[in-house]
């Protein structure tokens, strides 16, 4: 038996023994069985966790990493490029339109007597994928990235370094652009850009007659069949293959020309790397003392952030985050509640300046949502369960299209979270913000039905986030997120000094929220009984992210009941259970559920699948968003409220500490770090004056820029109010605070 095989067998025996001893519900151990030995054998993460490297290519092609920049994305070595907002198909046949990957290449078939070793690396801190082939006297490096500044560009660099002692070296290349696209009619045309090929065309079928056939313009540099270096030649040579994509020819031509100019200046790669470093410097999560967990966090941040642009696009709008990032066509590239509920919150906390980019995807489609509400017989704005370019509903599964209406409340929840984190910012005064808030409230007012016998408003015939049960009446999640949406106009107007129609609050005040007083828990919907299995425990989302104030007994009962009845579940449901148990200081219960999420993470490049068995869509950034929330809102204890930001920082299991770098709150940036004894808070930028409230000593400490505050581990609160009336004992999650000054 080879040494590597012996090591793997040893890992397997130890892991199975631990499983039998600890029981199959110990998901930390199960994660070790599924991934631990492979990680130790194949993955060489650097000491900080930023590099994911392996000497073995993925056995399954879907486990190659994504490179994206919010406008274009591709999976390494795939034959497809996808562009944000480019869809083909009418209505429910809408799907992302494939563009051939004209500059995707493989290095293949070196001479049999060459002694070649290969390393495959994703460098997340620089957004660069790299392959290095090493011979006795030469090195070939293939570098791929989606440019972070000039986001029309995909870049492939081929670098050959020789020491002069090599014989004639021929590097065979295989181009992976695959067959002609079946969704875009690309044809050759005379290029107006030197050294570039040019193709143009349109999608085959418009989403609606009004939206038209979207044009596509592509410039690219042809990849040769091989590259040869003469014997005796020493030095380094680099070939660069650019591909630019846009709906506008001048835009695509400019990007290609600019990329070539930057390359000649020697700044093509460095400008890309610098921008990625700026992203990480302004917001990230560091896990201390556990490189494997650190790399899991960085990769989740990398895949989500790379799928979105860093600013608004003046040529072609950003349509939103899809559950399977920008480089895949999972769920046809459509936008769901996944963006608002799962991926948006980590972006809001760590990159408050990017949060409006996601909110604008909902402002842009407000008129389409008004039209969708009209078609369904309601007032206001109803957001589609699945949307593509126009914002109208393109859901191919009729039950979700007909019943899964909670997404309209999820959009309002994202807006509410922005108000709490950003405060009275310029975006709140944008007419689109206010119009969206009011239109959503109007929808829920028209969607609610008064039960004249109880005097309460109800919402009938819906599909909860638990998609196994529909149609049902009074989904507890749907009703409460609707209530929050109805209260949002008044909440917003308190900040920006506007007037909200009183009927929104009147309906909200009488919204029926299912509760079983005998069993002291929240039934998922009318008629639900405790032994009914569910797809995901959406009843526990009342505690977080909806932050319904409830007693610890009710919170515990909700968690117990739904943990016992939740099936295989999407990964993010386990993160929400972990958050709930951490609220109750049940750290052992939280730990197993925290690690259970990671059963969805596969391969050297930390690719998440929708299902823990590797099935479903790839790369599932929805699950990665839930995972990041389990750290930020679970182990970080971060909770936004109208009057404060609550925190209770604790190390992630298996680590010695965590740091939330660049938490954005009320115009300030904060660094929050902790180990098992000390929590440190540093205000790193100027904004509204903030005060730190302690729960152990009842102190009020002004936070001054650049001056760290070290405290024993405890629940804390940060507020712009100098005087808060805090409850005795722990204050933090789901505890009201009265402002007295």
The DSSP output letter for 525 is: S
The question of whether 467 is a catalytic residue gets the answer yes
For the cut 60, the answer to whether the pLDDT of residue 729 exceeds it is: no
φ/ψ bin of 712: left (φ > 0), alpha (ψ from -120 to 50), beta (otherwise): beta
pLDDT band at 109 (very low <50, low <70, confident <90, very high): confident
> What single string gives the DSSP state of each residue in 96-109?
EPPEE-TT-EEE--
In angstroms, the CA 373 to CA 383 distance is: 8
- Give me the pLDDT at residue 23, please: 38
The DSSP output letter for 397 is: S
Q: Check if the beta carbon of residue 662 is closer than 8 Å to that of residue 282.
A: yes
The DSSP output letter for 92 is: G
Looking at the chain, the number of H-run helices and the number of E-run strands are 19, 34
pLDDT band at 35 (very low <50, low <70, confident <90, very high): very low
In angstroms, the CA 299 to CA 323 distance is: 15
What's the chain's Rg over C-alpha atoms?
A: 26
Please name which of 129, 128, 5, 8 lies closest in space to residue 57, comparing C-alpha atoms.
129
> What single string gives the DSSP state of each residue in 143-192?
EEEE-SSSTTEEEEEEEEEEES-S--EEEEEEE---SPPSSB--EEE--S
- Give me the pLDDT at residue 726, please: 57
SS3 sequence of 695-710: CCCCCEEEECCCCCEE
402-416, 623-637, 722-736: least confidently modelled range:
722-736
Q: Check if the beta carbon of residue 26 is closer than 8 Å to that of residue 592.
A: yes
For the cut 80, the answer to whether the pLDDT of residue 37 exceeds it is: no
Residue-wise pLDDT for 229-248, tens only, equals 999 999 999 999 999 999 99
Q: Check if the beta carbon of residue 504 is closer than 8 Å to that of residue 489.
A: yes
pLDDT band at 481 (very low <50, low <70, confident <90, very high): very high
The DSSP output letter for 65 is: P
For the cut 90, the answer to whether the pLDDT of residue 676 exceeds it is: yes
Cα 189 to Cα 99, 423, 669, 713, distances in angstroms: 16, 51, 50, 65
Q: Check if the beta carbon of residue 652 is closer than 8 Å to that of residue 594.
A: yes
In angstroms, the CA 345 to CA 86 distance is: 26
The DSSP output letter for 342 is: I
- 312 exposed, middle or buried (CB, 10 Å; 0-12, 13-18, 19+)? exposed
Which contiguous run of DSSP H or E holds residue 30? helix 27-31
Q: How many residues does the chain have?
A: 741
> What single string gives the DSSP state of each residue in 194-248?
TT-EEEEEEBSS-SSTTT---EEEEEEPPPPSEEEE-TT-EEEEEEEEEEEEESS
For the cut 90, the answer to whether the pLDDT of residue 119 exceeds it is: yes
Give the three-state DSSP class for 360: helix
Residue-wise pLDDT for 90-108, tens only, equals 999 999 999 999 999 999 8
For the cut 70, the answer to whether the pLDDT of residue 16 exceeds it is: no
Of the residues 467, 524, 563, 699, which is catalytic?
467
- Give me the pLDDT at residue 545, please: 98
In angstroms, the CA 67 to CA 740 distance is: 50
Please name which of 28, 33, 56, 31 lies closest in space to residue 44, comparing C-alpha atoms.
56
Handedness of CA 615, 618, 622, 628 (dihedral sign): positive
In angstroms, the CA 503 to CA 62 distance is: 51
Cα 24 to Cα 16, 19, 31, distances in angstroms: 10, 6, 11
Mean pLDDT of all residues in 562-581? 95
In angstroms, the CA 386 to CA 365 distance is: 12
Instruction: Please give the torsion angle defined by the CA atoms of residues 439, 440, 442 and 448, in that order, rounded to the nearest 10 degrees.
Output: 160
The CA-to-CA distance between both ends of the chain, in Å, stands at 73
- Give me the pLDDT at residue 460, please: 98
For the cut 70, the answer to whether the pLDDT of residue 651 exceeds it is: yes
Residue-wise pLDDT for 341-371, tens only, equals 999 999 999 999 999 999 999 999 999 999 9
In angstroms, the CA 73 to CA 329 distance is: 11
- Give me the pLDDT at residue 47, please: 56
In angstroms, the CA 168 to CA 111 distance is: 11
Residue-wise pLDDT for 41-67, tens only, equals 233 334 589 999 999 999 999 999 999
Residue-wise pLDDT for 530-546, tens only, equals 999 999 999 999 999 99
Please name which of 621, 616, 614 lies closest in space to residue 68, comparing C-alpha atoms.
621
Mean pLDDT of all residues in 279-289? 97
For the cut 70, the answer to whether the pLDDT of residue 29 exceeds it is: no
pLDDT band at 741 (very low <50, low <70, confident <90, very high): very low
Cα 600 to Cα 27, 324, 431, 456, 569, distances in angstroms: 11, 13, 41, 42, 11
Mean pLDDT of all residues in 468-494? 98
Q: Check if the beta carbon of residue 633 is closer than 8 Å to that of residue 579.
A: yes
Cα 104 to Cα 18, 126, 264, 567, distances in angstroms: 44, 20, 21, 40
In angstroms, the CA 483 to CA 477 distance is: 10
């Amino acid at each position: 038996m080879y040494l590597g095989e012996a090591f793997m067998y040893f890992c397997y025996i130890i892991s199975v023994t631990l499983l039998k001893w600890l029981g199959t519900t110990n998901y930390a151990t199960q994660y070790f069985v599924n991934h631990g030995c492979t990680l130790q054998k194949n993955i060489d993460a650097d000491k900080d966790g930023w590099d994911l490297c392996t000497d073995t290519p993925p056995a399954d092609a879907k486990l190659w990493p994504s490179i994206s920049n919010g406008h274009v994305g591709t999976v390494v070595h795939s034959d497809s490029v996808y562009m944000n907002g480019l869809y083909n198909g009418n209505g429910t046949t809408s799907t992302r339109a494939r563009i051939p990957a004209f500059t995707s290449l493989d290095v293949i078939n070196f001479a049999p007597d060459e002694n070649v070793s290969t390393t495959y690396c994703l460098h997340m801190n620089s957004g660069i994928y790299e392959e290095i082939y090493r011979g006795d006297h030469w090195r070939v490096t293939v570098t791929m990235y989606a440019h972070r500044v000039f986001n029309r560009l995909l870049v492939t660099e081929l670098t050959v370094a020789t020491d002069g002692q090599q014989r004639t070296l021929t590097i065979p290349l295989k181009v992976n652009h695959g067959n002609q696209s079946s969704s875009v009619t690309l044809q050759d045309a005379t290029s107006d850009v030197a050294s570039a090929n040019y193709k143009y065309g349109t999608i085959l079928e418009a989403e609606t007659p009004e939206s038209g056939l979207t044009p596509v313009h592509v410039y690219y540099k042809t990849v040769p069949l091989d590259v040869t270096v003469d014997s005796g030649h020493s030095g380094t040579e680099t070939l660069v293959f650019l591909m630019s994509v846009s709906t506008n020819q001048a835009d695509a031509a400019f990007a290609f020309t600019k990329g070539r100019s930057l390359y000649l200046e020697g700044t093509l790669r460095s400008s890309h790397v610098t921008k990625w470093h700026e992203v990480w410097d302004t917001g990230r999560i560091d896990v201390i003392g556990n490189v494997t967990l650190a790399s899991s966090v960085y990769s989740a941040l990398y895949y989500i952030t790379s799928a979105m642009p860093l600013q608004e696009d003046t040529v072609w709008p950003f349509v939103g985050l899809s559950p399977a990032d920008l480089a895949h066509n999972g769920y046809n590239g459509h936008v769901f509640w996944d963006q608002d509920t799962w991926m948006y919150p980590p972006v809001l906390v760590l990159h408050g300046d990017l949060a409006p980019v996601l909110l604008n995807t909902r402002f842009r489609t407000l008129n389409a949502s008004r039209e969708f509400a009209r078609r369904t017989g309601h007032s206001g704005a109803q957001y589609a369960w699945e949307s593509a370019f126009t914002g109208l509903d393109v859901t191919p599964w009729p039950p979700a299209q007909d019943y899964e209406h909670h997404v309209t409340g999820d959009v309002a929840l994202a807006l509410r979270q922005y108000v709490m984190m950003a405060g009275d910012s310029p975006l709140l005064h944008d007419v689109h913000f206010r119009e969206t808030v009011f239109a959503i409230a109007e929808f829920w007012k028209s969607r609610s039905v008064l039960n004249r016998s109880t005097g309460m408003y109800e919402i009938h015939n819906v599909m909860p986030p638990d998609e196994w049960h529909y149609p049902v009446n009074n989904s507890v999640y749907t009703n409460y997120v609707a209530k929050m949406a109805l209260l949002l106009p008044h909440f917003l107007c308190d900040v920006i000094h506007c007037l909200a129609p009183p009927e929104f609050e009147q309906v909200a005040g009488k919204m029926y929220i299912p509760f079983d007083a005998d069993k002291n828990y929240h039934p998922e919907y009318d008629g639900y009984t405790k032994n009914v299995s569910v797809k995901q425990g959406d009843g526990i989302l009342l505690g977080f992210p909806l932050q319904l104030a409830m007693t610890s007994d009710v919170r515990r009962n909700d968690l117990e009941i739904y943990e016992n009845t939740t099936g295989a579940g999407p990964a993010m449901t386990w993160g929400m259970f972990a958050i709930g148990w951490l609220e109750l200081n049940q750290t052992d219960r939280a730990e197993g559920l925290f690690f259970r999420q990671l059963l969805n993470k596969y391969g050297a490049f930390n690719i998440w699948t929708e299902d823990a068995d590797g099935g479903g869509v790839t790369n599932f950034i929805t699950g990665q968003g839930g995972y990041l929330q389990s750290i930020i809102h679970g182990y970080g204890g971060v909770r936004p409220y109208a009057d404060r930001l609550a925190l209770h920082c604790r190390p992630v299991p298996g680590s010695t500490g965590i740091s939330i770098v660049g938490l954005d709150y009320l115009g300030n940036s904060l660094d929050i770090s902790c180990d098992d004894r000390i929590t440190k808070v540093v205000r790193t930028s100027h904004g509204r004056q903030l005060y730190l409230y302690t729960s152990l000593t009842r102190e009020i400490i002004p936070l001054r820029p650049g001056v760290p505050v070290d405290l024993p581990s405890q629940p804390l609160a940060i507020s712009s109010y100098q005087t808060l009336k805090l409850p005795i004992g722990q204050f933090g999650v789901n505890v009201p605070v009265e402002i007295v000054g």
